[in-house]
Amino acid sequence: MHGSHPRIVLASGSPRRRELLGLLGVPFTVEVSRFDEHGPGGDPAQRVRDNAVGKAREVAARVGVPRGGVVLGCDTEVVLDGATLGQPADESAAEAMLRALAGRTHRVISVVVVVGDGGEDAHAEAVDVTMAPLGDDLIAWYLATGEWRGKAGGYAIQGHGAVLVERIAGDYSAVVGLPLAATARLLASAGLAPWQAR
């Protein structure tokens, strides 16, 4: 059985990622990464990977890797027409993002990485998300919820933003912010999955 000391460090302050990782039933601690994320520009998929790896490496270097454990980092971005939307700076930016996404399909890219004594392992998950046509009233209602703050693309699929989404093709948890099946596989490779007796 797993010991009482968590051997997984989540390099993220995101409550959504904490909640998702908690679904695996493995003990973990949280250490918010101080990594300076790469901004827009260049290949979105590579930037997401660089950010995820950078977060995990920064925490591993600063606080160390738990004995027999890993530091887990993740990054998620919304990509439309080859460009990363990022997090809106204010309500008007969020509105512009929602209007750009309305009635169209965009891609959400999530990369999860584990850094341990044995090296690094990463997995990228790409999900196509199709937004419903969004009228002025619906956009105004959603903006008023304030949920867009701190959310890539200006919406949260796991909250009020669910009404904005028509369909998705891929892993729902990756859109929320942590591809859970991929995370479980990475932890299993490190001998840290909940179904692996220690």
pLDDT score for 40? 66
In a domain, 52, yes or no: yes
**107 within a domain of the structure (yes/no):** yes
Nearest one of 69, 74, 73 to 26, comparing CA atoms: 69
What is residue 1's predicted lDDT score, i.e. its pLDDT?
39
pTM of the model: 0.91
- Residue 37 has a pLDDT of 83
Q: Which two three-digit tokens encode residue 103?
A: 């009635």
Q: 68: domain CATH number?
A: 3.90.950.10
42: left (phi over 0), alpha (psi -120 to 50) or beta: left
- Does any domain span residue 137? yes
Tens digit of pLDDT per residue, the chain (198 long)?
344 578 999 999 999 999 999 999 999 999 999 999 877 678 999 999 999 999 999 999 999 999 999 999 999 999 999 999 989 999 999 999 999 999 999 999 999 999 998 899 999 999 999 999 999 999 999 999 999 999 999 999 999 999 999 999 999 999 999 999 999 999 999 999 888 855
Residue 117 covered by a domain: yes
Does residue 101 contact residue 83 with C-beta atoms inside 8 Å? no
What are the residues facing 120 on neighbouring strands?
Answer: 115
User: What is the tally of structural domains in the chain?
Assistant: 1
Q: Do 67 and 107 meet the contact criterion of CB atoms below 8 Å apart?
A: no
Q: Does some domain include residue 1?
A: no
Q: Which of 36, 50, 75, 136 is catalytic?
A: 75
Distance CA 193, CA 197 (A): 9
- Residue 75 appears among annotated catalytic residues: yes
The answer to whether 81 and 19 have CB atoms below 8 angstroms apart is no
Q: How far apart are CA 100 and CA 87, in angstroms?
A: 14
The answer to whether residue 15 is domain-embedded is: yes
**Domain, as residue range, for 93:** 8-189
| pLDDT attached to residue 2 | 44
End-to-end CA distance of the chain: 5
Please choose, from the candidates 60, 188, 36, 64, the residue with its C-alpha nearest in 3D space to the C-alpha of residue 123: 188
Q: What residue type is assigned to position 161 of the chain?
A: G
> Is 19 inside any structural domain?
yes
In a domain, 164, yes or no: yes
Reduced to 3 states, what is the DSSP secondary structure of residue 166? strand
